[in-house]
Structure 1
Amino acid sequence: MSDRKISSAAVFPDISVKSADNTDVLLGQRQSESSWKMVVVYRGKHCPICTKYLNELENYKQRLADMDVELVAVSADSSEQLNEHKEQLEVSFALYHSLSIEQMQTLGVYISQPRSAKETDHPFAEPALFIINGDGRIQIVDIANAPFSRPDPEILVSGLEFIRDPENDYPIRGTYS
């Protein structure tokens, strides 16, 4: 991994990835009317823990939408790998592919080499999660180096409900330097 670390409160970088239909999409740009966005970086179709996590997130999509938060997920998989993975997924949120090594480094995520060709055929990002606020800044960042180290969806979404409540006036945390 590069020693670059993306900071909370930073503007989310301009990163172009591919949608499921191979259209170019700016990862941090909202594709809906939502004012906030959750970007989930996952390892790829080879990871059963990722499949389980993405399927679990589907259960929170409506709560996120009710808070005006768009949910998407992205991996370094190819279009073909994403299409194969969609057969195991039960999600209605947008899935993106073709995250490059340079883009992973820009995001500051951990990058792993496959253990064998049986696992996958390319370096891949370890899990990460970015919550982008209405100003395009990173409100929350979570970067892990293993597939079983991710935020619990219930705790995450409950926390977002607290943050999104205007009465709480909750700032971006982790900005002291």
Structure 2
Amino acid sequence: MTTSKKLTTGDTFPVINAMLLDGSSVELGKARGNATWQMIVVYRGVHCPLCTRYLNQLEQHKEALEELGVSVMAVSGDSKTQLEKHLEQLTISFPIAYGLTQEQMQTLGLYISVPRSEKETDHNFAEPGLFIVNEEGNLQAIDISNAPLLRPELDVIVRGITFVRSQPDYPIRGTLKY
């Protein structure tokens, strides 16, 4: 039996870099602009219509998240060419990165799938993951799934972050290690 290491809330978000289309490297977990928190959405890739829909829905929540001090970033294991193709289907304005390696996927504790065929994609890919990193660089919340159909509702996330950020002494939940 193979075991995988899952991240624990409260831990420091690992150093993970990916590429932006302009050729620059971006460190995931580092808030951008005036934000102090960052939400990182890991998606399966251009081959996944559910990912396309989720990323487009995320755009509709971006402004509310920014008002809460949360910057948004999406990333996948796709290549630059695959991301360029995917952007034709996306109506987003938040940064989206590519090139997440299998080792990085494992570091994040993501479930990883093997493509069913070359028509699906040409590389192993991460199943959905969502990470919220606070101003101290620690994991405030984690949601990982082994299937594309299981993803947190974005309006619930916005309401939850609104509540947590309004309670200065609200603890990070789920930190017990065993």
TM-score range, shorter chain: over 0.9
Q: In percent, how many aligned pairs have the same letter?
A: 50
Question: In the alignment, is residue 139 of structure 1 matched against residue 145 of structure 2?
Answer: no
Counterpart CA distance in 2 for 1:20 and 1:70 is 18
Q: TM-score, normalised by structure 1?
A: 0.96
- On the 8 A contact 2:31/2:70 being kept in 1, the answer is no
Residue aligning to 1:176:
176
Structure 2 letter corresponding to 1:4: K
Q: RMSD of the TM alignment (CA)?
A: 1.1
CA-to-partner distance for each residue in 1:35-88, whole Å, 9 max, x for gaps? 000000000000000000000010100000000000010000000100110000
- On the 8 A contact 1:2/1:108 being kept in 2, the answer is no
Question: In the alignment, is residue 88 of structure 1 matched against residue 89 of structure 2?
Answer: yes
Residue aligning to 1:66:
67
Structure 2 letter corresponding to 1:170: Y
Structure 1 letter corresponding to 2:164: I
- The DSSP-based 3-state class of the residue aligned with 1:135 is coil
User: CA offset at residue 32 of structure 1?
Assistant: 1.8
Unaligned ranges ≥5, structure 1: none
Bigger CA drift: 124-133 or 19-28?
19-28
User: CA offset at residue 31 of structure 1?
Assistant: 2.8
Q: TM-score, normalised by structure 2?
A: 0.96
CA-to-partner distance for each residue in 1:124-147, whole Å, 9 max, x for gaps? 000000000000000000010001
User: CA offset at residue 25 of structure 1?
Assistant: 1.1
